[in-house]
Amino acid sequence: MIDFATYGMYLAAMLFCLGLAIMIVKRNMIFVLIGVELILNAANLNMVIFSRNDPNLGGQIFTIFSIVIAAAEVTVALAIALNVYKYYKTSDLDEVNELKH
Amino acid sequence: MTPIDVAFFFFLIVTGLAGIGILLTRNVIHAAMLLVIVLLGVAGLYVLFRAEFAAVVQVLIYAGGIVVLIAFGVMLTNRPENGKLMTGNHLVLPALLVSSGLFYYLVQGIQLLDPIATQQVAKLPEDQVEYIGAAFMTDYIVAFELIAFILLVVLVGAAYLAKHHSRL
């Protein structure tokens, strides 16, 4: 009997750390958003794994809420990224370094 | 190895490799396409962890919606250099230190868990979609309405933010 849950948790931990590393390393706005998506997916994967032990499916229901929140987050983030690009003419986060309007 | 084990390790390895690929690639479009592979792999794992409805939602919203949004974002906010959308890295060493240290401690934490308890599977409802639909309308009605309201606000707000203004 292979312990699926533990391997799934290792993968979730790995996705979380990869997302964190991507958020720190990459200089592009879109790359940082992709890192955020990976972190949210790691959290959802953990919730689904533990939902297997719950006859009320609490983890799975909250995964669906979390997916909807992620969709809302990425929509607003892209709208902001679009405005930042329009103003600074670059998507490099190192060059977006002044708050002046 | 049963076919389910094979499918499990297939999704596990594909998801992990695609995740590492996102970290290593410098091309934004490649990263978006690798993100599709990660999301589909995670959806496959959802099925194997007996969360079919969450898997369908994942494919519809993530692989269908969010990745298209991100692809639009790539096209609207990047200027190709020599025909390629490349991006630079910075702070590589601190990022590796922080994330590998965090991974080490997460693995330590996972190893503390009782493997017998995590392998237990409760008796799940026969028809999960029906059960989740009823739960949304009864136990989770406040959260459901709030999330509907948040989606409406986000839709209007994002459309307003992305609109052309003479002055922001």
Interval B23-43: pLDDT, tens? 998 888 899 999 999 999 999
State the pTM of this model.
0.89
Q: B150 and A72 in contact by Cβ < 8 A? A: yes
Q: Mean pLDDT score of chain A, rounded to an integer?
A: 88
For residue B91, what pLDDT is reported?
83
| Beta-carbon contacts of residue A93 (< 8 Å; ≥ 6 apart) | A27, A28, A29, A32
Distance CA A34, CA A15 (A): 11
For residue B106, what pLDDT is reported?
92
Q: Mean pLDDT score of chain B, rounded to an integer?
A: 87
Q: What is the mean pLDDT of residues B15-30?
A: 91
b/e burial code for range B80-90 (CB count within 10 A of at least 16 → b)? eeeeebebebe
Q: What is the mean pLDDT of residues A15-33?
A: 91
Rounded to 5 degrees, what are φ and ψ at B114?
Answer: -80, 115
* Residue B166 in this model has a pLDDT that exceeds 60: no
Q: Which among A14, A25, A82 has the least Cβ separation from residue B103?
A: A14
Q: A18 and B45 in contact by Cβ < 8 A? A: no
CA-based nearest distance A97→chain B, Å: 15
Rounded to 5 degrees, what are φ and ψ at A28?
Answer: -95, 140
Name, of A68-72, A85-89, B76-80, the range with top average pLDDT: A68-72
* Residue B130 in this model has a pLDDT that exceeds 80: yes
Q: B8 and A7 in contact by Cβ < 8 A? A: yes
Q: A70 and B62 in contact by Cβ < 8 A? A: yes
Distance CA A101, CA A83 (A): 12
Q: A48 and B54 in contact by Cβ < 8 A? A: yes
For residue B10, what pLDDT is reported?
93
Distance CA B102, CA B100 (A): 5
Q: Which among B49, B61, B154 has the least Cβ separation from residue A67?
A: B61
Q: Which amino acid does the sequence have at A48? A: V
For residue B26, what pLDDT is reported?
87
Q: How distant, in Å, are the alpha carbons of A52, B23, B163 from that of A38?
A: 22, 11, 28
For residue B19, what pLDDT is reported?
93
Q: Which among A17, A25, A51 has the least Cβ separation from residue B103?
A: A17
Residue B117 DSSP label: H
State the Cα torsion A37-A38-A44-A45 to the nearest 10°. 160
Q: A68 and B151 in contact by Cβ < 8 A? A: yes
Quick one: what percent of chain A has pLDDT higher than 70? 96
The residue of chain B with its CA nearest to that of A86 is B77
Residue B27 DSSP label: B
Stretch among A61-70, A85-94, B133-142 having the lowest mean pLDDT:
A85-94
Distance CA B104, CA B89 (A): 23
* Residue B18 in this model has a pLDDT that exceeds 70: yes
The residue of chain A with its CA nearest to that of B114 is A6
Distance CA A20, CA A14 (A): 10
State the Cα torsion B9-B11-B12-B16 to the nearest 10°. 140
Q: B70 and A33 in contact by Cβ < 8 A? A: yes
CA-based nearest distance A98→chain B, Å: 16
Stretch among A25-34, A46-55, B120-129 having the lowest mean pLDDT:
B120-129
For residue B165, what pLDDT is reported?
66
For residue A22, what pLDDT is reported?
92
For residue B137, name the pLDDT band (cuts at 50, 70, 90): very high
